[in-house]
Structure 1
Amino acid sequence: MPEDRKLNLDDVEAIEAILTSVPEAFNLYKTHGLNTVSNTFHIANLLHLHAKVYEASLFYRHACDLHSKLPTEHPSPQILLHVSLLCLLKAGRDLPEEEIKELEGYSKTHANYIRGIQASWREGNTERAMALIGNTFEEFHSGEEIDVLYLEIALKHFSPLNGPITAESYSPIPRRLYMFWDQNPPPSIAQNIEYHKELLGDEFVFFDKKTGGEWLFRHFGREALALFEEARHPAEAADFLRIHVILKNGGWWIDADLRLKSLEEWEKTARLPKDSRFFTTNNFYVHNDFFGAVPNHPILVNAAVTCWTNMLKYHGLFISYKTGPGVFNRSLSRTFYNAFIYDEPLPSLAIGTASDMFSFVEQFDVEYKSLGTWHTA
């Protein structure tokens, strides 16, 4: 392994210089050092979060070197090494072939995942990338970074999926807009609810916790109602409801912190072709706060299955992975994988950008998101 891939623990000054710009990581180092996998991994994650990707790659590498290689120690060496190499790619660095071979010794699929990202980012070869990655995303929780990177590659590989408006275009998506707020909406949310009622009349449907629970019980039974009522945060309850409402009824979902810009923009959605319309962030996370689909659309069916699985098996998973955008990203991963590997036809599907989405809606600040706890509850 090249010397520049090793942390010199004796060079305290150099390590502190790396960590100074991320105070939480610096404090962890000063308090606990770099002698355990868990602490080194935590520091690496903090560096990664703050876009210090080359530096993060060194700390992930060090965590891998510290690892006992026993199956009971987590994270596994293949997780530590693959994310180290991924951070190297993000930093624009070349990958040491011996480390890819080392990763292959732990997990061939993880090694091919990294080779696939390299093929896409370095060679522009999306076909090779998708062939190498395969469905390795199934080894991860829904919504983890592999789903996001796979979607980025798939959207480059397949024909444009934006489905533009034309003079003749028509949307089969039902003309209903749904929204949820569990109880006691603050003034800004209450005003937004009234705004949509006045703008759309009967085409707008609002759920609170009581009416949402009643709807779920009526259409999906007591188990669905129980999962809805046991959600550990209103954001999770909203996620669970939105998937089932659009799956059953079709239509459009809008989060309570978004508002349609105008009646004219709502009317434009009636001319959007395709049976479903999704939007991605600039980083290829799927927006679940504004989307539309016909009833029983395959993307919603698969997302619902993942949502139930996560609710029943992975109670403590991050909400964004468990019931939020992650289940939509995973559904799209499976859809594109089957289209690429098995030549299954893509469902009627349009995927637009964040810019496309914000031509229809606008966002305003609400307290629960400013608190910063809703997605990690």
Structure 2
Amino acid sequence: MEWLIQEASEVVDAVDFTTPPRILIQFWDNATSVPADVQKCLDSWVPLEKTGFERLLFDDTAAEQFIMENFSRRHSRAFKRCHHPAMRADFFRLCFVLKNGGLYVDADDAYQAYDIDKLLMDGRLKLQPLCYDIASDSMVDPVRSAGIPAEGGRIFYVNNNPLLAPPSHPIIAMALEQATNSLLSADEDSRDIQTLTGPGNLTSCLVAHAVELAQAGKAWDFELLTDWDSVAISTWPLSYRSDDRNWRRWVRSDG
């Protein structure tokens, strides 16, 4: 993953992929009781409607129905094994983007009035690279950190927010299949969200796919967005982050 970040600046733009549809997908577990501060984040994306975007907010019920109608019983069983809203959001976004394409953004991201058309010029999967510095227990700039040794080491990965892709992108397909298999084979009480459905799952699929492309001499069908913060910013603090609706707290709690 660190090597991919280093190589990203050298990649020539690809133009021969189907562009994604103008659909913005977001998720909150209960659409009838969205907290006011989260609703403010959701409302920040209203300006996209003027550029032709359709905005869709799914919750647990709508997401489960979508998966039942468009995927197999295995996928429905896997979704039922997602015991936290963050896991269900993780799994659902893979299903929707694989089936229909579009832009998935977390409900707590606030839009920064960026010209979103710049991201729609080709059909590459758009992903945000991240880097966690172990020694300082903090996030650091992934581009500046790539290739530079660090005491304690660093973990390079991609976020699963945002996801921007046309339908049927192979990385999304691989990530959904791997998440489904992992959920159905793991201990049903597992709280390893990162690996089962989150960024860890997506990162491993991205790297495997990138290796396949390199071996075949093919161009990247994905792009690493090193400036996503100019598009949207994850809002802190929000009321839900102080309880177990925050997946980080839930993972550390004893249930």
Deviations 1:15-42 (Å, cap 9, x if unpaired)? xxxxxxxxxxxxxxxxxxxxxxxxxxxx
Cα displacement (A) at 1:344: 5.0
Q: Report the secondary structure of 2:203's partner residue.
A: helix
The amino acid of 1:323's aligned partner reads T
Q: How does 1:82-93 map to 2 (within 5 A)?
A: none
Residues 363 and 307 of structure 1: is their aligned pair in 2 closer, same or farther, counting only changes over 3 Å?
same
Cα displacement (A) at 1:296: 0.7
Deviations 1:27-85 (Å, cap 9, x if unpaired)? xxxxxxxxxxxxxxxxxxxxxxxxxxxxxxxxxxxxxxxxxxxxxxxxxxxxxxxxxxx
Cα displacement (A) at 1:266: 2.6
Corresponding residue number in structure 2 for 1:339: 213
Cα displacement (A) at 1:370: 4.2
Aligned residues of 1:287 and 1:325 also touching (Cα < 8 A)? yes
Q: 2:23 aligned with 1:176, yes or no?
A: yes
Corresponding residue number in structure 1 for 2:231: 360
Residues 350 and 180 of structure 1: is their aligned pair in 2 closer, same or farther, counting only changes over 3 Å?
same
Higher strand share: 2
Corresponding residue number in structure 1 for 2:2: 152
Aligned residues of 2:74 and 2:180 also touching (Cα < 8 A)? no
Q: 2:164 aligned with 1:314, yes or no?
A: no
State which drifts further: 311-320 or 195-204: 195-204
Q: 2:135 aligned with 1:288, yes or no?
A: no
Residues 266 and 336 of structure 1: is their aligned pair in 2 closer, same or farther, counting only changes over 3 Å?
closer
Residues 174 and 156 of structure 1: is their aligned pair in 2 closer, same or farther, counting only changes over 3 Å?
same
Higher helix share: 1
The amino acid of 2:127's aligned partner reads F
Aligned residues of 1:319 and 1:376 also touching (Cα < 8 A)? no
CA RMSD of superposed structures (Å) = 2.8
What CA distance in whole angstroms lies between the structure 2 residues aligned with 1:318 and 1:170? 34
Percent identical among aligned pairs is: 25
**Greater C-alpha Rg:** 1
Cα displacement (A) at 1:232: 1.2
Deviations 1:302-338 (Å, cap 9, x if unpaired)? 1111111110112415101110001111111211232
Aligned residues of 1:320 and 1:375 also touching (Cα < 8 A)? no
Q: How many residues align?
A: 219
Aligned residues of 2:17 and 2:124 also touching (Cα < 8 A)? no
- Counterpart of 2:37 (choices 185, 188, 195) is 188
Deviations 1:189-240 (Å, cap 9, x if unpaired)? 1233344346427511110111111111110144323322331110001001
Q: How does 1:178-327 map to 2 (within 5 A)?
A: 178-183=25-30, 184-197=33-46, 199-200=48-49, 203-262=54-113, 264-271=114-121, 273-283=122-132, 284-315=156-187, 316=190, 318-327=192-201
Corresponding residue number in structure 2 for 1:148: none
Aligned residues of 2:27 and 2:106 also touching (Cα < 8 A)? yes
Considering Cα pairs closer than 8 Å and 6+ residues apart, tell me whether 1 or 2 has the greater RCO: 2
Give me the TM-score of the superposition, normalised by structure 1: 0.52
The amino acid of 1:254's aligned partner reads V
What CA distance in whole angstroms lies between the structure 2 residues aligned with 1:208 and 1:266? 25
Corresponding residue number in structure 1 for 2:204: 330
Gaps of 5+ in 2: 133-155
Gaps of 5+ in 1: 1-150
Residues 368 and 242 of structure 1: is their aligned pair in 2 closer, same or farther, counting only changes over 3 Å?
same
Off by >6 Å, runs of 4+ in structure 1: 168-171
Deviations 1:95-137 (Å, cap 9, x if unpaired)? xxxxxxxxxxxxxxxxxxxxxxxxxxxxxxxxxxxxxxxxxxx
The amino acid of 2:232's aligned partner reads V
Q: Report the secondary structure of 1:320's partner residue.
A: helix
Aligned residues of 1:175 and 1:251 also touching (Cα < 8 A)? yes
Aligned residues of 2:171 and 2:206 also touching (Cα < 8 A)? yes
Corresponding residue number in structure 1 for 2:143: none
Q: Report the secondary structure of 1:295's partner residue.
A: coil
Aligned residues of 1:181 and 1:208 also touching (Cα < 8 A)? yes
The amino acid of 2:171's aligned partner reads I
Give me the TM-score of the superposition, normalised by structure 2: 0.75
Aligned residues of 1:278 and 1:291 also touching (Cα < 8 A)? yes
